[in-house]
Structure 1
Amino acid sequence: MSGPTTAEGGEPQEPGSGRSRLPRLPRLPAALSAPRTRTLILAAAALLAVTGGGLWALYGSSWLRVEKVTAAGTDVLSPEEVRAAAGIASGTPLVSVDTDAVENRLRGELPRIDEVDVVRSWPDGIRLKVTEREPVLIVEKGGKFIEVDDDAIRYATVARAPQGVPVLELTPRRTPGPQRFGTGELTRAAVEVMTAVPARVARETRRLKVRSYDSITLELSGGRTVDWGSAEDGGAKNVTLAALMKAAPKAGHFDVSVPTAPASAAS
């Protein structure tokens, strides 16, 4: 007799087995994940060390602290005044200086300051970059002079009148009705006129008289006067006045209150 045979063309099977076995996947050794875990722990520790060291350097160490405060851009003010008003204590951690608060404090303490920029100068300094207001008019009061800038802000009182700055004389007419204007509105109108007049006329203006919103007169050197009218149509009045003064250089009075119908007279 012949022995056991396989199915035609098939592979031999183990006796008693009705199914073929699936291949087994190799297991990864548990030790292979250990280096990765150690790397993550070391990286986290290094990060904490760097962060902690950085915070200590910024806030806790004697480094990176304010040792000098400098002020630049001053004219009437002194650097000492600006530094004192800034109120930045020596030894303060540089990173903790609130630059916005310093700027607000400077503007509040020193109204003459128009713009200020507070800059950290690493590793140990603060720079204060100041732009002062400049007067375009002054108001005489009690023997002193109040300076008014190009935003119509009255920002300082001085004992001496700044050279070359016209005096603003407000003498508003007491007329009833809705067309009454307060001191603030009239001051803004006067400033608008001073920024609109020709540069040559601005240099020669000694006094600006404002009786109402539409009655503004410039007194120039040599006794000459200009009837400007209201602050409106400043560009047209500028061109008209320049042409009128050129056409009548010896005239003592010029009227450009209606720029389309100017006039000049001997006095």
Structure 2
Amino acid sequence: MRPPARPRTTPRQASPGPTTGATPARAPARKQAASSARRPSTGVATAPTGTPSTAASGRRGAARAGAARTGATAVVPAGQDVPPRVSTAMADRLAERTAMRRHRTWRRVLAWVLSLALVVGAAVAALGSPLLALEPAEVAVTGADEYVDEAAVREIVEAPAGTPLPRLDTVSLREEVLDLRGVKDVRIARAWPHGLAVELTPRVPVAAVPDGDELALLDSAGVRVATRPEAPKGLPQVDVPLDDALALQAALHVLAALPAKLSAQVEHVSADTQDAVETVLEDGTTVRWGGSSDLPLKVETVQTLRTLDGDARTIDVSSPELPVTR
């Protein structure tokens, strides 16, 4: 007789409660997940191999650099890629400065061009404007004397009446005035807006030289100043032919070197040659000067001898170091 069969037992199911029989491989995974949950997110994406992604790191670095330039704080969520940001603020400022510099340069150039145009326009207007025309009533002539014909001078300088002063040729006017007898020098200046200032330097005659029936009045350079029928009072007469230039020039040099007090006492001058000049004073004293060299020393010697020997009728200073009186 067989024994009765034993009933089969059903395998016991795992209870849902905590167990201590978890596998060793699953336990570290749960610990890693819990540790990740506790740590704050740094926004660094991890590649499958456990190293940060190079592309994502580059984009996040650019984002942080842009934020640093603008003064903001870059916040990149974990696991999210940020597109690269390129700041153009510096380039915009440089472009603005360049544009302003170019603008100022053009303004400066335009100002110079306008100023030059105004100056040229004013000059052109002045050259042809009747507002600056010469008026005869505004012409002033000074320095004329009895040996300079002032009317002849005015006729020359007033001839271009109506011509604007900027276009007036004062050089030509000066040359015409210098051609007049008795004029040694002349200065012509514009007297704005309508006049001229004419300043004459006349020639001063120092001797009267016979010229036929008249006397030629000559200055110290031998230039004829005027012609008179007789010598003016106080002007000595030189008995030297006009064609004997050397003797005449020596006599004129002696007269020009005399001081005013002594020159006023000379009545007559003669010169047979250029080295034999003689003068006759109003008291009858004859002074033999010789040539026209060493005239300052000769003049001083004559003055000294006339003071020391007032009775001398002849004074010879042709050799001033060895003067002779008689």
TM-score bucket of the superposed structures, by smaller chain: 0.7 to 0.9
Q: Does 1:107 align with 2:182?
A: no
Contact 1:111–1:156, Cα closer than 8 Å, also in 2? yes
Contact 1:205–1:218, Cα closer than 8 Å, also in 2? yes
Q: Does 1:164 align with 2:225?
A: no
Offset from partner CA, 1:144-182 (integer Å, 9 cap, x none): 22121122323332344222111111169xxxxxxxxx7
Structure 1 residue aligned with 2:130, among 62, 82, 91?
62
**Distance 1:223-1:43 versus aligned 2 partners, 3 A rule:** closer
**Distance 1:105-1:214 versus aligned 2 partners, 3 A rule:** same
For normalisation by structure 1, the TM-score amounts to: 0.79
**Distance 1:225-1:123 versus aligned 2 partners, 3 A rule:** same
Structure 1 residue aligned with 2:122, among 45, 50, 53?
53
**Distance 1:201-1:21 versus aligned 2 partners, 3 A rule:** same
How many pairs align?
250
In 2, the alpha carbon distance for the partners of 1:207 and 1:6 equals 131
Deviation, structure 1 residue 139: 0.8
> In the alignment, what sits opposite 2:189?
119
Percent identical residues: 26
Return 5+ residue gaps in structure 1 as ranges. Answer: 173-181
Structure of greater Rg: 2
Contact 2:139–2:158, Cα closer than 8 Å, also in 1? no
**Distance 1:124-1:197 versus aligned 2 partners, 3 A rule:** closer
Contact 2:46–2:52, Cα closer than 8 Å, also in 1? no
In 1, the alpha carbon distance for the partners of 2:202 and 2:114 equals 51
> In the alignment, what sits opposite 1:231?
292
Deviation, structure 1 residue 143: 2.3
For normalisation by structure 2, the TM-score amounts to: 0.66
**Distance 1:89-1:239 versus aligned 2 partners, 3 A rule:** same
Structure 1 residue aligned with 2:304, among 243, 247, 263?
243
**Distance 1:225-1:11 versus aligned 2 partners, 3 A rule:** farther
In 1, the alpha carbon distance for the partners of 2:108 and 2:322 equals 89
Structure 2 residue aligned with 1:81, among 141, 146, 152?
152
In 2, the alpha carbon distance for the partners of 1:208 and 1:251 equals 19
- Worse-superposed segment, 34-43 or 218-227: 34-43
Contact 1:171–1:210, Cα closer than 8 Å, also in 2? no
- Worse-superposed segment, 193-202 or 211-220: 193-202
> In the alignment, what sits opposite 2:206?
136
Instruction: Report which structure shows greater RCO (CA 8 Å, sep ≥6).
Output: 1
Q: Does 1:13 align with 2:58?
A: yes
Contact 2:182–2:224, Cα closer than 8 Å, also in 1? no
Offset from partner CA, 1:69-108 (integer Å, 9 cap, x none): 2211111234322111335411111011122221111101
Q: Does 1:97 align with 2:152?
A: no
Deviation, structure 1 residue 63: 0.8
> In the alignment, what sits opposite 1:202?
263
- Alignment-mate amino acid for residue 144 of structure 1: E
In 2, the alpha carbon distance for the partners of 1:137 and 1:44 equals 64
Offset from partner CA, 1:188-216 (integer Å, 9 cap, x none): 21122113345433211111101012111
Deviation, structure 1 residue 138: 1.6
Higher strand share: 1
Deviation, structure 1 residue 127: 0.8
Offset from partner CA, 1:211-263 (integer Å, 9 cap, x none): 01211111121333222222222122212211222222133222222223322
Return 5+ residue gaps in structure 2 as ranges. Answer: 1-28, 30-44, 61-83
Q: Does 1:222 align with 2:283?
A: yes
**Distance 1:155-1:34 versus aligned 2 partners, 3 A rule:** same
Contact 1:171–1:209, Cα closer than 8 Å, also in 2? no
- Worse-superposed segment, 123-132 or 87-96: 87-96
- Alignment-mate amino acid for residue 309 of structure 2: A
Q: Does 1:262 align with 2:323?
A: yes
Higher helix share: 2
- Alignment-mate amino acid for residue 239 of structure 1: E
Superposition map of 1:30-41 within 5 A: 40-41=109-110
Secondary structure, counterpart of 2:151 in structure 1: helix
> In the alignment, what sits opposite 1:72?
142
In 2, the alpha carbon distance for the partners of 1:43 and 1:260 equals 73
Offset from partner CA, 1:48-76 (integer Å, 9 cap, x none): 245313421x1222211111322111112
Offset from partner CA, 1:6-47 (integer Å, 9 cap, x none): 369x972259xxxx9976533847997678757755763464
